[in-house]
Amino acid sequence: MKRKRKKTTAIALVCGLVCAACVVLYTQSVRGEAEAARAEALARYGGEQLEVCVAVRDIAAGEPIGEGDVEMRLWVADLLPADAARAKDEVVGRAPTTPIMEGEVVVLKRFEGSGASLDVPDGLAALSVPAEDVQAVGGSLSAGATADLYSIGGTSTALLAEEVLIMATSATGSEGASADLTWVTVAVEPESVQEIIDSSQRAKLYFVLPAAGDGLESAPDAVEPVTDETTGEEGSQ
What's the pLDDT at 31?
58
In a domain, 38, yes or no: no
CATH of the domain at 69: 3.90.1210.10
175, part of any domain: yes
Which of 86, 111, 136 is a domain's end point? 111
Is residue 19 domain-resident? no
What confidence score (pLDDT) does residue 223 get? 38
Residue bearing the bigger pLDDT, 196 or 213: 196
Confidence check: pLDDT of 45 > 70: no
Mean pLDDT of 163-185: 70
The pLDDT of residue 101: 85
Per the structure, how many domains does the chain have?
Answer: 2
175 and 142 in one domain? yes
Q: What is the pLDDT of residue 137?
A: 86
Same domain, residue pair 97 and 65:
yes
* In a shared domain, residues 81 and 133: no
pLDDT tens-digit map of 102-113 = 888 898 888 875
Residue 204: other Cβ atoms inside 10 A: 15
The answer to whether position 217 is within a domain reads no
Which pLDDT band holds residue 46 (cuts at 50, 70, 90)? low
Return the pLDDT at 27: 60
In a domain, 82, yes or no: yes
Answer yes or no: do 90 and 131 share one domain. no
User: Do residue 105 and residue 175 come from a single domain?
Assistant: no
pLDDT for 71 beyond 90: yes
123-151: burial string, b at 16+ Cβ within 10 Å, e else: ebebbbbbbeeebbbebebeeeeebebbb
**pLDDT range class, residue 160, cuts 50, 70, 90:** very high
- Which one has a higher pLDDT value, 85 or 229? 85
Residue 161 pLDDT more than 50?
Answer: yes
pLDDT band at 208; cut points 50, 70, 90: very high
Shared-domain flag, residues 145 and 175: yes
**Do 98 and 58 share a structural domain?**
yes
Interatomic CA distance for residues 91 and 107, integer angstroms: 9
Mean residue pLDDT across the chain:
75
Supply the pLDDT for residue 79: 75
- Residue 89: per-residue pLDDT: 92
- Please indicate, yes or no, if residue 30 is contained in any of the structural domains: no
Regarding whether 101 and 137 lie in a shared domain, the answer is no
| DSSP class per residue in the chain | -HHHHHHHHHHHHHHHHHHHHHHHHHHHHHHHHHHHHHHHHHHHHTS-EEEEEEESS-B-TTPPPPGGGEEEEEEEGGGS-TTB--SGGGTTT---SS-B-TTPBPBGGGGTTTSSPP-PPTT-EEEEEE--GGGTGGGT--TT-EEEEEEEETTEEEEEEEEEEEEEETTTT-SSTTPPP-EEEEEE-GGGHHHHHHHHHHSEEEEEPPPSS-S-PPPPPPPPPEEPTTT--EE--
- In terms of residues, how long is the chain? 237
Q: Which domain holds residue 94?
A: 49-111
- Percent of the chain exceeding pLDDT 70 equals 63
User: If you compute the radius of gyration of the chain from its CA atoms, what whole number of angstroms results?
Assistant: 34
CA distance 157 to 150: 7
Domain assignment present for 80: yes
Q: Are residues 137 and 170 in the same domain?
A: yes
Domain shared by 102 and 150, yes or no: no
Do 190 and 130 belong to one domain?
A: yes
Q: What is the pLDDT of residue 203?
A: 86
Q: Would 97 be classed as within a structural domain?
A: yes
Residues 107 and 151 in one domain: no
